[in-house]
């Protein structure tokens, strides 16, 4: 059980040090709590936390008191967050302002930052439409247990959502960012909604490197006026970019798209393929073409033969993306052919020395350089009977066809990769 400790304040034990990049483990010390002046601490697993950094769960997964709506720290939590946001606006008449430092804060269920502002602290100076206006926000390593509601919010001075964990839905629909924004390493465990309408100003420089989209990402009609970086991001569900306008500096290298089964996947990837085509990004186009074909293959109602051909093309060259796979195919056919010839010779009871092996190897090679030679000019292995010749002919024909197929795929992949369209 966690308990409130009103006596001598101890240092707040924050959950994580604030690293910019995820996946870095470090021995460095935890940063001190930014909420100075806190006098009430809560004990969780032997550590003392302020109401802001207090976790929602014990190490064993059992909920702490913070999960209870009547938790004693709730009022000071709300006031403290509001205070931080107000300080972030600073003196309204001067240009000096502080950062609203909410790093590492654990937001309980049903707590929204927009509500924390209570009445419009900063009415959007451009439109005056009463939208929630946020100062320069730092939220690194924060965690939202409930849904994070930022619908129509206006972020005027940049926002750091680096490594934030969104356990509920993250709603940034129609939100407006006037300065750069970082979602590096953010984890979206439910839907991440960044959709926009035609009036929403375009996104400025936005960084989604290593972000995890676990339940879908919506960028419908969103415009990007500056580069957007998805390097290393993982999309567990095909993202929706319908109507979006990507910037030419859009980076999708190393981004992973894991969904090839949901019903909307083919159209989602087709949209991205067309966006890549517009930007003359051939590699990106090939990537989304492959994803589209792969998703189509998994749609219910697809004929088994179409499925088989599509699967074969995928295995043989990843729909024209891979240069290595067709080459491996040629070598594989050569090796497999050699084994089959030896097997047929064994069945025919022909035993020989090294010279016979050389003869088989030579025959195997001939099928690659002189297609259908075995049928046209007859099979030339010493001592083969009529049945042996027949089987050799069949295997040789299949080998020739398969080799020709792989060579064609290789040429097509080279052309696709290095063409200048
Ligand atoms: Zn703290």
Instruction: Record the pTM.
Output: 0.83
Q: How far is the CA of 143 from the centre of ligand 1 (A)?
A: 14
Q: For helices 304-317 and 386-418, give the axis angle rounded to 10 degrees.
A: 70
- Is 96 in contact with 90 (CB distance < 8 Å)? yes
Centre of ligand 1 to C-alpha 107, Å, is 13
Distance 12 CA to ligand 1 centre (A): 5
pLDDT at 192: 97
Q: Is 306 helix (H, G, I), strand (E, B) or coil?
A: helix
> What's the 34 CA to ligand 1 centre distance in angstroms?
7
Whole-number Å distance, alpha carbon 177 to ligand 1 midpoint, is 28
> pLDDT value at position 118?
63
Centroid of ligand 1 to alpha carbon of 108 (angstroms): 15
For the chain, list residues with pLDDT below 70: 1-11, 13-31, 90-97, 118-130, 377-382, 420-421
pLDDT of residue 96: 56
- Ligand 1 centroid to Cα of residue 53, in Å, is 5
Question: Looking at residue 253, what DSSP letter applies?
Answer: T
CA distance 160 to 183: 7
Cβ-in-10-Å burial (0-12, 13-18, 19+) of 214 comes to: middle
DSSP class per residue in 167-204 = -S-EE-TT-EESS-EE-TT-EESS-EE----TTSPPB-
Task: Give residue 55 CA to ligand 1 midpoint distance, Å.
Answer: 10
Cα-to-centroid distance, 100 and ligand 1 (Å): 14
Classify each residue of 348-364 as buried b or exposed e, where b means 16 or more C-beta atoms within 10 Å of its C-beta.
Answer: bebeeeeebeebbeebb
Q: What is the pLDDT of residues 53-70, one digit of tens each?
A: 899 999 999 999 998 888
Distance 81 CA to ligand 1 centre (A): 12
- For residue 257, how far is its CA from the centre of ligand 1 (angstroms)? 37
CA of residue 35 to ligand 1 center, whole Å: 6
Contacts 24+ apart (CB under 8 A), 200-203: 200/174, 200/175, 200/176, 201/176, 201/225, 202/245, 203/177, 203/228
The strand pairing partners of 57, in sequence order, are 63
Question: How close is the Cα of 10 to the center of ligand 1, in Å?
Answer: 10
Q: 224 CA to middle of ligand 1, Å?
A: 36
Question: Which helix (H) or strand (E) element contains residue 42?
Answer: strand 41-44
**How many residues are present in the chain?**
421
Burial class (CB in 10 A: 0-12, 13-18, 19+), 280: exposed
CA dist., res. 414 & res. 417, Å (int): 5
Between the CA of 69 and the centroid of ligand 1 the distance, in Å, is 20
Rg (CA), the chain: 31
Helix, strand or coil, per DSSP, at residue 258: coil
Helices (H), ranges, 25-154? 74-89, 113-116
Distance CA(133)–CA(250), nearest Å, equals 28
From ligand 1's centre to the CA of 236, what distance in Å? 33
For residue 164, the CA-to-ligand 1 centroid distance in Å is 16
d(CA 248, CA 226): 8
**pLDDT given at position 185:** 93
Quick check: helix, strand or coil at residue 411?
A: helix
Helices (H) and strands (E) counted in the chain, each on its own, are 9, 23
The structure tokens listed for 300 are 């219910």
CA of 96 to the centre of ligand 1 (A): 25
CA of 133 to the centre of ligand 1 (A): 25
Taking the C-alpha atoms of residue 379 and residue 394, their distance in angstroms, rounded to an integer, is 11
Tell me how far CA of residue 263 lies from CA of 186, 238, 266, in angstroms: 26, 10, 7
Whole-number Å distance, alpha carbon 68 to ligand 1 midpoint, is: 19
Q: How far is the CA of 131 from the centre of ligand 1 (A)?
A: 29
CA of 54 from ligand 1 middle (Å) equals 7
Q: Compute, in angstroms, the gap from residue 93 CA to the centroid of ligand 1.
A: 31
Q: In this predicted structure, what is the pLDDT of residue 19? A: 46
Distance 21 CA to ligand 1 centre (A): 22
**What are the distances in angstroms from CA 102 to CA 106, 160, 198?**
9, 10, 31
Distance from Cα 118 to the centre of ligand 1, integer Å: 23
Query: 134: which residues sit within 8 A by CB, 6+ positions away?
Result: 85, 88, 100, 113, 122, 153, 154, 155, 156, 159
- What three-state secondary structure class fits 124? coil
**CA dihedral in degrees (65, 71, 75, 78; nearest 10)?**
50
Summarised one tens digit per residue, pLDDT across range 300-344 is: 989 999 999 999 999 999 998 899 999 999 999 999 999 988 888
Q: Does residue 250 contact residue 227 with C-beta atoms inside 8 Å?
A: yes
Per the CB < 8 A criterion, the answer to whether 273 and 295 are in contact is no
d(CA 238, CA 235): 6
48 CA distance to ligand 1 centroid (A)? 9
């Amino acid at each position: 059980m966690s308990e409130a400790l009103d006596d001598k304040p101890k240092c707040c034990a924050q959950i994580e040090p604030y690293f910019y990049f995820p996946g870095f483990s470090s021995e460095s010390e935890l940063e001190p709590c930014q909420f100075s002046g806190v006098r009430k601490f809560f004990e969780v697993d032997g550590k003392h936390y302020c109401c802001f950094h207090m976790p929602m769960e014990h190490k064993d997964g059992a909920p702490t008191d913070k999960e209870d709506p009547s938790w004693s720290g709730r009022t000071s939590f709300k006031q403290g967050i509001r205070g931080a946001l107000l300080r972030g606006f600073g003196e309204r008449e001067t240009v000096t302002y502080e950062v609203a430092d909410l790093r590492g804060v654990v937001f309980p269920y049903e707590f929204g930052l927009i509500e924390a502002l209570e009445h419009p602290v900063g009415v959007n100076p451009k439109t005056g439409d009463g939208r929630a206006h946020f100062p320069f926000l730092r939220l690194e390593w924060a965690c939202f247990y409930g849904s994070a509601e930022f619908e129509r919010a206006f972020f005027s001075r940049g926002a750091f959502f680096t490594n934030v964990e969104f356990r509920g839905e993250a709603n940034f629909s129609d939100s407006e960012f006037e300065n750069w924004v970082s979602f590096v390493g953010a984890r979206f465990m439910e839907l991440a909604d960044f959709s926009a309408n035609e009036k929403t100003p375009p996104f400025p420089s936005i960084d989604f490197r290593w972000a995890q989209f676990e339940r879908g990402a919506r960028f419908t009609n969103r415009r990007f006026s500056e580069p957007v970086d998805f390097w290393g991001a993982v999309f567990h569900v095909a993202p929706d970019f319908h109507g979006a306008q990507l910037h030419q500096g859009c980076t999708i290298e190393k981004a992973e798209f894991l969904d090839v089964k949901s019903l909307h996947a083919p159209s989602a990837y087709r949209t991205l393929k067309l966006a890549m085509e517009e930007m003359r990004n051939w590699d990106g186009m090939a990537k989304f073409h492959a994803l589209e074909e792969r998703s189509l293959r998994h749609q219910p109602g697809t004929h088994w033969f179409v499925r088989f051909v599509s699967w074969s093309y995928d295995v043989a060259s990843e729909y024209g993306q891979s240069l290595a796979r067709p080459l491996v195919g040629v070598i594989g056919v050569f090796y497999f052919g050699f084994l089959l010839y030896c097997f047929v010779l064994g069945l025919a009871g022909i035993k020989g020395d090294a010279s016979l092996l050389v003869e088989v190897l030579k025959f195997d090679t001939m099928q690659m350089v002189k297609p259908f030679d075995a049928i046209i000019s007859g099979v030339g292995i010493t001592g083969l009977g009529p049945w042996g010749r027949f089987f050799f002919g069949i295997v040789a024909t299949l080998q020739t066809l398969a080799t020709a197929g792989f060579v064609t795929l290789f040429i097509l992949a080279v052309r696709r990769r290095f063409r200048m369209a």
